[in-house]
Amino acid sequence: MKQDIPGTVMFDGDQAQKGYALNRMCFSFNSAENRAAFRKDENAYCAKYGLNEEQRAAVKSRNVLRLIEAGGNVYYLAKFAGIFGLNVQDIGAQQTGTTVEQFKAKLAAAGR
């Protein structure tokens, strides 16, 4: 993973190739029917989209940093997070190892 800007993974050709199956699955979550199918049988749904082991483990962990490492792009991952009612502040807190309140406070502090 290219990370020369600290804490930032550029979603480039390497990541796009690596994460294609994972992102394709997350893209399918635009449909309510597909979101329900995932909830009903997560393993079968991941298999249908051809996720590799690393991606399946990342999906199972619900860990956004791991999902990014497995090639996920945040715009598609946000659709995945939406299934669990998580917004970008929730996933921001998760990725930075803080509580949602702390994460929000940090954002507010950036405005002062």
Partner 1 sequence: MATIIGGIGTTHVPSIGKAIAEGKENDPYWRPFFQGFDYVHYWLAREKPDVAVVFYNDHGLNFFLDKLPTFAVGAAREYRNEDEGWGIPVARSLTGDPVLSWHLINTLIADEFDITICQDMLVDHAVTIPMALMWPGDRRQPVRIVPISINTVQHPLPSLRRCLNLGRSVGRAIDSYEQDLRVLIVGTGGLSHQLDGKRAGFINKEFDRLCMDKLPGDPDALTRYSIHDFVEQAGAQGVEFLNWMAMRGALTGRVTEVHRNYHIPISNTAAATVVLENGSVVRRKAA
Q: Does 73 bind partner 1 (CB under 8 A)?
A: yes
Kindly tell me which of 3 and 53 has the beta carbon lying closer to partner 1.
3
Q: How many helices (H) and strands (E) does the chain have?
A: 9, 0
**Dist. CA 104–CA 92, nearest whole Å:** 9
- DSSP state string for 16-50: HHHTHHHHHHHHHTTSHHHHHHHHH-HHHHHHHTT
Stretch that binds partner 1, among 8-16, 37-45, 50-58 (CB under 8 A): 8-16
Q: Does 55 bind partner 1 (CB under 8 A)?
A: no
Take residue 99 and report the two structure tokens written for it. Answer: 């509580």
Give the nearest distance from C-beta 85 to partner 1 in angstroms.
Answer: 7
Give the nearest distance from C-beta 43 to partner 1 in angstroms.
Answer: 21
Stretch that binds partner 1, among 11-19, 36-44, 46-54, 55-63 (CB under 8 A): 11-19
